[in-house]
Amino acid sequence: MESMLCQAKCLADQITGWRRDLHRIPELDLDLPQTAAYVCARLEELGIPYRISEAHFGIVALIEGRSGPGRTVALRADMDALPIAEKAEIPFASQNGRMHACAHDAHAAMLLGAAELLMRNRACFSGSVKLIFQPGEECSGGAQRMIDEGALENPRVDAVFGQHAGVMATELPGGHFGFYPGAFMASRDSFTIMVRGRGCHGSAPAQGVDPVAVSAYLITALQTLVSREINGTDQAVLTIGSIHGGEVYNIIPDEVVLEGAVRCLNEGIRIQLEKRIREMCEGIARTMRASCEIVYERGYPVTMNDPELTAFAEQSARRLLGEERVDRLEKPLMGSEDMSVFLQHCPGCYWVFSTPPREGETYANHNPRFAIDDSELYLGSALMAQTALDWLARWE
């Protein structure tokens, strides 16, 4: 039988075409009617049964092997875009003020490619492969919504795999796949701090309570939570990304609003930072005669790769692609990922596929000039399909 890599290479132009079609129609969050319709049309062409959620456009498809019943493995890709006006100079750039600036178009295309490869090889495996096309990765927790609707049931998923394209690990050369066991990507929490003082004229600050001054102290002090309260061998990031207060240069306002994010690779540190942010903000505000209200929202958990399945997927990659294209990453990533929720419910592995453009400057994910080399996406399709087949073969 022709190797999976050779089969995938024959689909290279088709997978690239699918990615570019999806790139032209970016949609946001849980509202993906065009994107979902495109994916469903391709599934129908391949003869793959699926169901689509009326609530959020998530799609679950199922490929059953012809060699009999067995275990079930899931392959997952996200589909939503970002509210960014595209500035990449490519002929298929989006024109609707939204953009696939995090390679979700490539993820969906690669999963469609894997679907075609698996359909061609149905006679070779027992069990089932679930294809999960997820909405709402960027902000709305689409993974949990799909799980709540039964994406991991009927049949029950025993292992789940996925991948992220783009420039996720800067040390990873283009065309290489990177693996990391254990805590691979950080949790993501957000918070809002409303600092309340008492407004007055800027010429008479003693007549009021200056929330701007209080906020300045808070911003500086909060940074010490990581630099002075977290061990140097642990990793966490605390960012204040938004500050709003006041309208006129010579009037002290009543209120300043700060917004920020916390990323951790350890649940204990995550709990500690939430507690200390509250204590520090309330204490400093009280000391400076102000008050504050803190709204802390827990977001995605740590993306936890199962060590055994990570080693398994890495070995599948080495056999399929060769040693030269597969790397064990030296450190985890501080970005966050909704795949973490699937991995909380089911063991699996999430890896990265480096796809920087071959020419011109490389821009990071979420940049309006973000671009990828989509000529080798077939490699990602081949790896997803081969990993699924290898995993199912373990149980035959």
Whether 277 contacts 261, CB under 8 Å: no
Residues 242 and 330 in one domain: no
Alpha-carbon distance 312 to 5, whole Å? 18
- Phi/psi at 78 (nearest 5 deg)? -95, 165
pLDDT above 90: residue 2: no
Q: What is the pTM of this model?
A: 0.94
pLDDT at 357 (0 to 100): 96
pLDDT digits (tens, 9 = 90+) for 47-90: 999 999 999 999 999 999 998 899 999 999 999 999 999 999 99
Handedness of CA 99, 332, 174, 310 (dihedral sign): negative
| Phi-psi group of 124: left, alpha or beta (phi > 0 → left; psi -120 to 50 → alpha; rest → beta) | alpha
Tokens 């003020």 sit at which residue?
97
Our CA angle for 67, 71, 76, nearest 5°, is: 110
Residues 26 and 138 in one domain: yes
Residues 10 and 155 in one domain: yes
pLDDT digits (tens, 9 = 90+) for 187-232: 999 999 999 999 999 999 999 999 999 999 999 999 999 999 999 9
Residues 33 and 168 in one domain: yes
| Beta bridge pairs of residue 327 | 178
pLDDT digits (tens, 9 = 90+) for 92-130: 999 999 999 999 999 999 999 999 999 999 999 999 999
For residue 200, give the nearest of 262, 169, 246, 141 by alpha carbon: 246
Our CA angle for 299, 302, 308, nearest 5°, is: 150
pLDDT digits (tens, 9 = 90+) for 276-325: 999 999 999 999 999 999 999 999 999 999 999 999 999 999 999 999 99
Residues 343 and 260 in one domain: no
Cα of 386 vs its chain's centroid, Å:
22
Residues 9 and 30 in one domain: yes
The CATH number that applies at residue 117 is 3.40.630.10
DSSP state of 10: T
- Greatest extent of the chain over all pairs of C-alpha atoms, in Å: 84
Task: Select from 299, 327, 353 the last residue of a domain.
Answer: 299
Query: Tokens for 162?
Result: 């996925």
Residue 396: band (very low, low, confident or very high) from pLDDT cuts 50, 70, 90: confident
pLDDT above 80: residue 1: no
Task: Select from 238, 267, 299 the last residue of a domain.
Answer: 299
Residues 277 and 290 in one domain: yes
pLDDT digits (tens, 9 = 90+) for 9-47: 999 999 999 999 999 999 999 999 999 999 999 999 999
pLDDT above 80: residue 362: yes
pLDDT above 80: residue 390: yes
Residues 53 and 138 in one domain: yes
Query: Tokens for 71?
Result: 């275990």
pLDDT digits (tens, 9 = 90+) for 116-171: 999 999 999 999 999 999 999 998 999 999 999 999 999 999 999 999 999 999 99
Say which residues have a Cβ less than 8 Å from residue 260's Cβ, sequence separation at least 6: 190, 191, 193, 222, 238, 239, 240, 241, 242
pLDDT digits (tens, 9 = 90+) for 266-289: 999 999 999 999 999 999 999 999
- Name the packing angle between helices 104-120 and 377-393 (round to 10°): 50
Alpha-carbon distance 133 to 58, whole Å? 6
Domain that holds residue 35: 4-185+302-393
How many domains does the chain divide into? 2
pLDDT digits (tens, 9 = 90+) for 242-256: 999 999 999 999 999
Task: Select from 299, 317, 351 the last residue of a domain.
Answer: 299
Q: Which residues are catalytic?
A: 80, 137
Mean pLDDT across 178-194 = 98
Residues 140 and 93 in one domain: yes
Residues 287 and 309 in one domain: no
Residues 199 and 246 in one domain: yes
Query: Tokens for 295?
Result: 């709204």
pLDDT at 286 (0 to 100): 98
DSSP state of 173: P
Tokens 């290279």 sit at which residue?
12
Percent of the chain predicted with pLDDT > 90? 97
The CATH number that applies at residue 287 is 3.30.70.360
Cα of 37 vs its chain's centroid, Å:
22
Say which residues have a Cβ less than 8 Å from residue 269's Cβ, sequence separation at least 6: 230, 234, 236
Alpha-carbon distance 355 to 15, whole Å? 14
Residues 146 and 212 in one domain: no
pLDDT at 68 (0 to 100): 86
Strands (E), 65-181: 72-78, 128-134, 159-166, 177-179
Count Cβ atoms below 10 Å from residue 42 Cβ, excluding itself: 19
CA contacts within 13 A on the Cβ side of 357: 14
